Amino acid sequence: MFELTDVVYRDVLRVDSMIIQAGSVTAVVGESGGGKSTLLKLLNKTLSPDKGSIRFEGEDLASRDSVTHRRRVVYLNQTPYLFPGTIRSNLQQGLFFQGRGEADQASLAAVLEEVGLDKSLDGDVKRLSGGERQRLALARVLLLGSDVLLLDEPSGALDDDSEDALLAMVVRLARERGKTLVMVTHSKAQARKHADHLFVVQRGRIEEVVSHGE
């Protein structure tokens, strides 16, 4: 699905070669400031490389329309923004920004159930805990039906047990829906547990590639 060759972005990240397969779960780990978030933004075309090529389904990202690409490859940052108001209005915002019609009540309720958020659609987001806010942001992304999910530390604000449960849920939903999932996590143990492939970023370079079971 993604193929990166000789990619350089400023002095932040260098990728000699990297392949992300369609339908796979890929984890990216490494030191803080090492370039992990930059990698996701390059895949999402929020950033463009200074040199090298990034291909998506065989097509160079440089030639792809950015808006069209981001509809298929959605990026959720480490501290997702929630809009003031209700859970319902927040779920609809992603669809609104993509110029799509509102989801019906049944679809909204179903996606909340999928992410394990047992809250009323009319509940105020101000009353949600950190973990609940993460689940709501994930539900908003899932509602878009994008092919690729790029998640930057989706469990970063949680304790170890809650982190494991959230990552397990994210991976399960991605597999059930046939999505390609790329997630940045601070925990190599969690990455090895949940991902098919593990990329380790050190000092701005991807220096190790580990497949599941190695």
Give the full edge-to-edge strand order of the sheet including 59-60. Answer: 59-60, 51-56, 2-9, 13-20, 205-211, 197-202, 25-30, 180-184, 148-152, 73-76
pLDDT-above-90 percentage for the chain: 77
**Across 96-111, average pLDDT:** 94
Position 214 confidence tier, pLDDT thresholds 50, 70, 90: low
**Across 75-101, average pLDDT:** 93
Provide the token pair at 89. Answer: 């209005």
Position 61 confidence tier, pLDDT thresholds 50, 70, 90: very high
Helices 105-114, 130-143: crossing angle, 10 deg rounding: 130
- Kindly state which CATH superfamily the domain 2-211 is placed in: P-loop containing nucleotide triphosphate hydrolases (3.40.50.300)
pTM: 0.93
Instruction: Judge whether residue 22 has pLDDT over 70.
Output: yes
